[in-house]
Amino acid sequence: MTATDLLGADAAVTVIEARDLRRTFKSRGGDVEAVAGVDLTVRAGEIFGFLGPNGAGKTTTLRMLATLPPPSGGEATVAGYDLRRQPDKVRENIGYVGQRGGTDAQVSSRSELVLQGRLYGMAKAQAQERAAELLAVLELEDAADRQAGTYSGGQRRRLDIGIGLMHRPRLLFLDEPTTGLDPQSRARLWVEVRRLAGAGTTVFLTTHYLEEADALCDRLAIIDHGRVVVEGSPDELKRQVAGDLVVLGVDGDAEAAMRLLQAQDFTREATLDEGTVRLYVDRGEAAMPAILRLLDSAGLPLQTIALSRPSLDDVFLRQTGKSLRETAP
Amino acid sequence: MKLLRDTWLVYLRYLGLFIRNPAWVAIGVLQPVLYLILFAPLLKSISASPGFPRGGAYNVFVPGLLIQLGLFGAAGVGFSLISELRYGVVERLRVTPVSRLALLLGRALRDIMSLLIQSLILILLSLPFGLNIHLGGLLVMLALIALIGLFMASISYACALWLKSEDSFAPLIFTATLPVLLLSGVLLPLTLASEWLRRVAAANPLSYAVDAARAIFNDHMGDASVTKGVAIMAVLAVGAVAIAARNFGRAVS
């Protein structure tokens, strides 16, 4: 038992616990298993990402956890309630922002927010107050009474998220929240999601953007063909792949440099290519000072040094045998 | 209680959309008005022929037009639902604790309201042509139209949720409605029809609604056909509501 287990009891509260979750649907060619036994644990307050190519089963899993299609098999507890037996209780405690949003072009954001709040049982005044609060936070005040059809993509998406947050859910589901957004809107949305998590809301999102999963998520699961292939923090996952890569440009006897570094404990593998030494090491940031010291004392002058870390794509490649960049649209 | 509140909230959403675009009332009433002006005068000349019901051409024709308005006016409401499915509105509402029945009833209530406004406009426009109706008859007639609207709107929503695409929804709903309409004696009374056509029409529940409507406009409120027509439409409406509400509760992919 570690100190975090003892001290950080709150951090260990699970918000989603899924075991062997399955979803099969019928098609002309027979039964298709869209989700083929997913196990998941999502803890309170974290941003949990579901990364995978299109058709991997991420959206189906998210929608199942949000009470939409009933699972064909398996068990799940969401926000403290059993998904199969108490879907109404689950609904009261979650917010859901679907891939397609949730508003049509003719409504204004204020009216949609108020309606949403009232559907969760809020009194009119209470819903109006909360709507005004969210419109301010999401910077939609100027557009609040205009039809949503006149909004920019980013504004529309912020409205969708506002709708999901109206009743202050403990857990928010975001299905591909930034797909189709321009880079600025995407960056703004990331800030918003981080702020939410900072305020204690657990966020469960799906994405097929590697950068997004890497930059935004505390932990993530990579899903392919309806199964979770690996789960962990982005750093943990990347470390599992091959370690970090340190590329050294040596002025002089590169071979001597390689032999010297190859003998060190932190080196997993070293290669030499025309004056360039490539070192695979466990933790690049810790190895670099040692490398500098060693070469300096051996009198081998260094021209350049660069550290590159494996990307989530490398993780994906290793786990599934294909690159996510190739499979993404 | 929760059902009533939820229905009211859903109704308010669609009422808001309706108020933003009230032109639909005018468009909806245009077709029956064209019948009134361009077709009803033809009936004057045949209203004296044997088999034509008593009461004058307009008191025979306008009740039929009202039933037609109820049927066709509500048949197309599923189109807006298909576009909402595409925008994710239905999905979003289904994740809230809102009653599934309220998702249907709130919408249907708005559709019925729109139908009743159109019906009143049509009745008012028919008065100069010699239509007669008193208040009691008017209220029963509006109730009958509301039931037809509820029935047809529920069917339309159920089909929209089932098909999820305008391309298959449009042919289905209009192909299915046309024979129902023709076999109900809406345009010309079935008393003019041959024996076999009358037998087929007897199997069409809507023909009882038309009979009821004509009896109401002929000041035969106590006629058994009125109770029969209203009762048949009420049973059909309840059945259609049950089917459509179940579809709202089901998974929408």
pLDDT per position as a tens digit, B30-71 = 888 888 888 888 877 777 777 777 777 788 888 999 999 999
Total number of residues shown for chain A: 329
Is residue A249 within 8 Å of residue A302, measured between CB atoms? yes
Is there a contact between A104 and B21 if contact means CB atoms under 8 Å apart?
no
Nearest C-alpha of chain B: how many angstroms from A42? 20
Is residue B119 within 8 Å of residue B194, measured between CB atoms? no
Is there a contact between A121 and B9 if contact means CB atoms under 8 Å apart?
no
Does A92 reach chain B within 8 Å, measured CB to CB?
Answer: yes
Cβ-Cβ contacts under 8 Å, A111 against chain B = 13, 16
Position with higher pLDDT, A141 vs A316: A141
Average pLDDT over residues A73-93: 94
Closest residue in chain A to residue B14, using alpha carbons only:
A107
Average pLDDT over residues A83-110: 92
Render pLDDT for A153-198 as a digit per residue (tens, 0 to 9).
Answer: 889 999 999 999 999 999 999 999 988 888 888 888 899 899 999 9
Interface test with chain B among A63, A115, A171, by most B beta carbons within 10 Å: A115
Residue from the list B6, B83, B87 with its beta carbon closest to the beta carbon of A119 = B6
Does B93 reach chain A within 8 Å, measured CB to CB?
Answer: yes
Listed residue (B189, B200, B150) closest to B59, CA to CA? B189
Distance set, CA A175 to CA A119, B86, B185 (Å): 22, 15, 52
Cβ-Cβ contacts under 8 Å, A66 against chain B = 95
Is residue A242 within 8 Å of residue A251, measured between CB atoms? no
For residue A9, the model assigns a pLDDT of 45
Nearest C-alpha of chain A: how many angstroms from B2? 9
What's the gap between Cα B168 and its chain centre? Answer: 21
Quickly list H helices, A124-218. 124-137, 153-165, 183-198, 210-216
Render pLDDT for A216-227 as a digit per residue (tens, 0 to 9).
Answer: 999 999 998 899
Is there a contact between A111 and B83 if contact means CB atoms under 8 Å apart?
no
Top-confidence range, A114-123, A192-201, A252-261, B169-178: A114-123
Nearest C-alpha of chain A: how many angstroms from B243? 19
ipTM of the complex: 0.87
Dihedral, CA atoms, B151, B153, B155, B158, nearest 10 degrees?
-140
A134-143, A191-200, A279-288: which range is least confident on average? A279-288
Residue B189 in tokens? 């009374």
Is there a contact between A116 and B96 if contact means CB atoms under 8 Å apart?
yes
CA distance B220 to B214: 9
Residue from the list A101, A106, A147 with its beta carbon closest to the beta carbon of B88 = A101
* Confidence tier at B252 by pLDDT (50, 70, 90): low
